[in-house]
Amino acid sequence: MPIRHLDVTTWYLEQRDSADLRPAEREPETAAEIVRAEMAGPELSRFLYTAVGGDWYWLDRLGWSYEQWRNWLARPGVETWVAYVRGTPAGYVELDPQAAGEVEITHFGLLREFHGRGLGGHLLAAGAARAWDLAGRWPGREATTRVWVHTCSNDGPAALRNYQARGFRVYDTKVETEAVEHTPPGPWPGAR
């Protein structure tokens, strides 16, 4: 696969107050149920990561072992929220609680079949709301004081717009040159 060098812009966004969160402006075309995967294991998490991120150069966890996935998910407060449409996983939000009441939305997105149906805004709003009330589900966890996320020019074209429409504000921007394959890897080896 040919390698090319791209200038990749990364935007870092945040909410400093739960009042910053704005709901989606339109109803999704298809009703979705958003449920916390209380027993999220490496198999489910890796499936969601590759099924959503395979089209957008999500590469950082592709080499993780089963043990690395399990250790990540076993950390207190890490949560995976999955959107289901008629019993089918449609997308997810992963939350990572950090020091000083901060929560990072580490991963968010929809499977390709669910793009363009108005579901992304609802899933993101639900995920951000769960970041703001995370302490209520984890005894001893301090209240959330900040929710943050980053996205880049290699992510879906609606990502930055969706974050901003939900009330996230850009607080930093970086541009770096990255070497990438001509096309994203897809959801599994050989998918392309």
Strand partners, 151: 11
**Model confidence band, residue 134 (pLDDT cutoffs 50, 70, 90):** very high
Q: Are 100 and 141 in contact (CB under 8 A)?
A: no
Instruction: Please give the helix or strand (H or E) that residue 34 lies within, else none.
Output: strand 33-36
Using CA atoms, how far apart are residues 128 and 82, in angstroms rounded to an integer?
A: 13
Q: Is position 98 within any domain? A: yes
What percent of the chain lies above the pLDDT cut of 90? 73
Domain count, the chain: 1
Q: Are 146 and 13 in contact (CB under 8 A)?
A: no
Instruction: Please give the helix or strand (H or E) that residue 81 lies within, else none.
Output: strand 79-85
**Model confidence band, residue 142 (pLDDT cutoffs 50, 70, 90):** very high
Question: In this predicted structure, what is the pLDDT of residue 54?
Answer: 85
Q: Are 11 and 170 in contact (CB under 8 A)?
A: yes
Question: In this predicted structure, what is the pLDDT of residue 25?
Answer: 86
Q: Is position 190 within any domain? A: no
Q: What is the DSSP letter of 75?
A: S
Question: What residues make up the domain containing 106?
Answer: 3-181
Report, as an integer, the average pLDDT of 129-151: 96
Instruction: Tell me the DSSP string of 84-151.
Output: EETTEEEEEEEEEE-GGGEEEEEEEEE-GGGTTSSHHHHHHHHHHHHHHTGGGGSTTPPPP-EEEEEE
Q: Is position 31 within any domain? A: yes
Q: Is position 137 within any domain? A: yes
Segment 66-120, tens digit of pLDDT = 999 999 999 999 999 999 999 999 999 999 999 999 999 999 999 999 999 999 9
Question: In this predicted structure, what is the pLDDT of residue 69?
Answer: 96
Instruction: Tell me the DSSP string of 138-191.
Output: STTPPPP-EEEEEEETTS-TTHHHHHHHTT-EEEEEEEEEEEEESS---SSTT-
Using CA atoms, how far apart are residues 52 and 40, in angstroms rounded to an integer?
A: 16
Q: Inform me whether the pLDDT recorded for 156 exceeds 80.
A: yes
**Model confidence band, residue 191 (pLDDT cutoffs 50, 70, 90):** low
Question: In this predicted structure, what is the pLDDT of residue 172?
Answer: 98
pTM of structure: 0.91
Segment 10-61, tens digit of pLDDT = 999 999 999 999 999 888 888 899 999 999 899 999 999 999 998 887 888 9
Question: In this predicted structure, what is the pLDDT of residue 2?
Answer: 72
The CATH number of residue 82's host domain is: 3.40.630.30
Query: How high is the mean pLDDT of the chain?
Result: 92
